[in-house]
């Protein structure tokens, strides 16, 4: 039975009428939306200082920096930073990716000034205490040792290396043992000095505060931040096309499970076929019990512990991939079944009922993703990062509904070529 959904109420969705967008004098973009149903506020944002700035010899540097920002500043020790947060029940954390260093925070509205001051201090004044750097290095090396024994992590790492050979997306964000050992404290300091700054920084504040007041608070705390020689983000190189199917196995002895990743390049977030690919992917390997892939490989054939497809889209080329965990004896059979489903998907597309169900699911779950302040704060960041427009969520239902079966089929044929796949496996 085809699902039906109630039309979305635009009043409940973020839009131009209730999103405040302001650009501070130093280039920082601030987005804010009020929600007085909760006494809290959520903070979300990024600055364009990610792994794209790393050298091959120092892979993992951006991640190392992000993990070290809250371990001491010129005016606060590691303990003082966390005591300030815990004393008011607030939180603040950093992460990194290829393009950005990201941050997420939460507090009661009366503690927003404290949260913003801690954010500013950790971004502008980190000192990387030598003892904390070495403790963190030991933790990172432990994480890499665990990764080396994880069949899922290693299959994903090999997949990226093959698909994005010679491209920043093919390098692991957490680096390798030898590159983490090679990073010096001076490298951490240089990374911040050269790449951290207000240009390109985006910050959202959502919660029990008037949007204009939120913008003013942010301006008071970081509006004076100036970095004259802040580095410009390098452009992404052209991605080399896969000319024929490539396959690589990474042996990890003593494992009872093998993991596999099969896929290809997918659309960027801004590409016009993104929505068709997203809806198609839901049918291929997400909706219900992991879609067609889950039904074919796991339910009907019993070859996999799990099997699903995923679409990852961002600033640059994305990935469209199928992931499965199988008994090592069933690797070849599982790969063959996945290839068969990809060929069928590329040849026949989706049924009218499948597409309608997927569209209803996309539209129905949107309000759930925007129920919390954190969900809205993240949504505002995505609007800015991908230049979607402040009215994006007001247009969302129409964008989903206008995708046709022909759109999905055309998109599948553009991106899915069963004769030019990347196949990565890890296990015994």
- From edge to edge, which strands make up the β-sheet containing 20-23? 20-23, 29-34, 202-207, 40-47, 101-108, 91-96
Judge whether residue 77 has pLDDT over 70. yes
The Cα–Cα gap between 374 and 104 comes to 9
Q: If you compute the radius of gyration of the chain from its CA atoms, what whole number of angstroms results? A: 23
Judge whether residue 405 has pLDDT over 70. yes
- Whole-model pTM: value is 0.92
Domains and CATH numbers, the chain: 15-222 (3.30.830.10), 246-427 (3.30.830.10)
235: Cβ contacts below 8 Å, ≥ 6 apart? none
The Cα–Cα gap between 84 and 78 comes to 10
The Cα–Cα gap between 121 and 126 comes to 7
Supply the pLDDT for residue 5.
56
Identify each DSSP E strand in 282-383 by its residue range: 304-312, 318-326
229-239 confidence digits (pLDDT tens): 999 999 999 99
The rounded percent of the chain whose pLDDT value lies above 70 is 97
Supply the pLDDT for residue 221.
97
The Cα–Cα gap between 296 and 274 comes to 25
User: 């010129």: which residue's tokens?
Assistant: 74
CA 248: distance to chain centroid?
25
Q: What does pLDDT average to over the chain?
A: 94
3-state helix, strand and coil shares in percent for the chain, rounded to the nearest 5:
50, 20, 30
Q: What are phi and psi of 348, to 5 degrees?
A: -110, -15
Judge whether residue 167 has pLDDT over 80. yes
User: Per-residue confidence at 189, pLDDT binned at 50, 70, 90?
Assistant: very high
Going 132 to 77 to 87 to 203, the CA torsion angle's sign is: negative
CB contact at 8 A, 321 and 265:
no
For the residues 377-381, what does the mean pLDDT come to?
97
For the residues 53-67, what does the mean pLDDT come to?
97
* Residue of 394, 302, 408, 306 lying closest to 355 (CA atoms): 408
Identify each DSSP E strand in 57-143 by its residue range: 91-96, 101-108
The Cα–Cα gap between 383 and 36 comes to 22
For the residues 15-31, what does the mean pLDDT come to?
97
412-421 confidence digits (pLDDT tens): 999 999 999 9
* End-to-end alpha carbon distance in the chain: 43
Judge whether residue 303 has pLDDT over 80. no
User: Per-residue confidence at 292, pLDDT binned at 50, 70, 90?
Assistant: confident
Instruction: Record the tokens describing residue 302, joined without a space.
Output: 């019993």
114-141 confidence digits (pLDDT tens): 999 999 999 999 999 999 999 999 999 9
Judge whether residue 1 has pLDDT over 70. no
Determine the Cα angle at 40 with ends 36 and 45, to 5°: 105
């Amino acid at each position: 039975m085809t699902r039906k959904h109630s039309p979305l109420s635009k009043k409940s969705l973020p839009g131009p009428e209730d999103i405040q967008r302001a650009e501070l004098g130093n280039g920082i973009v601030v987005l804010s939306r009020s929600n007085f149903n909760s006494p809290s506020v959520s903070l979300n944002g990024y600055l364009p200082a990610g792994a794209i700035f790393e050298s091959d010899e120092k892979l993992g540097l951006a991640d190392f920096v992000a993990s070290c920002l809250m371990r001491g500043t010129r005016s606060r020790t590691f303990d003082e930073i966390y005591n300030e947060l815990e004393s008011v029940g607030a939180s603040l954390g950093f992460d990194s990716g290829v393009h950005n260093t990201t941050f997420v925070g939460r507090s009661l509205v009366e503690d927003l000034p404290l949260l913003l001051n801690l954010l500013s201090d950790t971004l502008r004044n980190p000192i990387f205490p030598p003892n904390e750097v070495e403790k963190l290095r030991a933790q990172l090396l432990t994480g890499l040792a665990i990764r080396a024994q994880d069949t899922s992590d290693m299959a994903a790492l090999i997949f990226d290396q093959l698909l994005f050979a010679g491209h920043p997306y093919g390098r692991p964000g957490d680096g390798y043992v030898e590159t983490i050992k090679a990073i010096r404290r001076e490298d951490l300091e240089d990374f911040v000095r050269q790449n951290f700054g207000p240009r390109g920084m985006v910050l959202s504040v959502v919660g029990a505060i008037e949007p204009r007041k939120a913008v003013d608070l942010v301006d008071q705390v970081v509006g004076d931040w100036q970095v004259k020689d802040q580095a410009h983000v390098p452009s992404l190189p052209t991605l080399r096309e896969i000319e024929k199917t490539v396959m690589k196995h990474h042996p990890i002895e003593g494992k009872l499970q093998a993991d596999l990743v099969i896929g290809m390049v997918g659309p960027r977030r801004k590409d016009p076929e993104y929505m068709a690919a997203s809806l198609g992917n839901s049918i291929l390997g997400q909706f219900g019990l992991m879609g067609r892939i889950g039904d074919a490989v796991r339910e009907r054939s019993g070859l996999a512990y799990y099997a699903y497809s995923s679409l990852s889209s961002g600033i640059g080329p994305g990935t469209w991939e199928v992931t499965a965990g199988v008994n090592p004896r069933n690797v070849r059979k599982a790969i063959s079944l996945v290839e068969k489903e990809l060929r069928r998907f590329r040849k026949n597309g989706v049924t009218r009922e499948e597409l309608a169900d997927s569209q209803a699911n996309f539209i129905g779950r949107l309000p759930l993703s925007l129920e919390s302040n954190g969900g809205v704060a993240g949504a505002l960041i995505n609007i800015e990062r991908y230049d979607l427009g402040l009215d994006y969520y007001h247009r969302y239902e129409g964008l989903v509904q206008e995708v046709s079966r022909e759109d999905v089929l055309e998109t599948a044929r553009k991106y899915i070529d069963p004769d030019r796949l990347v196949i990565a496996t890890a296990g015994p």
